[in-house]
Amino acid sequence: MVHLHASEGAWLTDRAMWSVDRSHPGERGHRQLAVRFHALLTDAGIAAGPAPSAEPEFPAPIRGSGLR
């Protein structure tokens, strides 16, 4: 069994990891969770394949994007 302690780590205080509402992870935050979980699966001998990228695929939305 693997368990990710998502509430641990300095990444929690990095505003770049959170969506605009600051209640939910943004793309960077979701990727950080995926990277951390992949590491746990690898340590347990379960993961197959390369780790996910920690870098976002798409640019962060601009402030006015919600107006459209």
pLDDT at 36: 93
This prediction's pTM: 0.77
Q: Is 66 helix (H, G, I), strand (E, B) or coil?
A: helix
Q: Is residue 31 part of a domain?
A: yes
Q: Is residue 3 part of a domain?
A: no
Q: pLDDT digit string (tens) for 19-48?
A: 888 889 999 999 999 999 999 999 999 988
Q: How many domains does the chain have?
A: 1
Q: Is residue 26 part of a domain?
A: yes
- Pick 29 or 64 by higher pLDDT: 29
Distance of CA 34 to the CA centre of its chain: 6
Across-strand partners of 1? none
Residues 6+ apart with CB under 8 A from 35: 51, 52, 54
Which structural domain, as residue segments, surrounds residue 19? Answer: 11-47
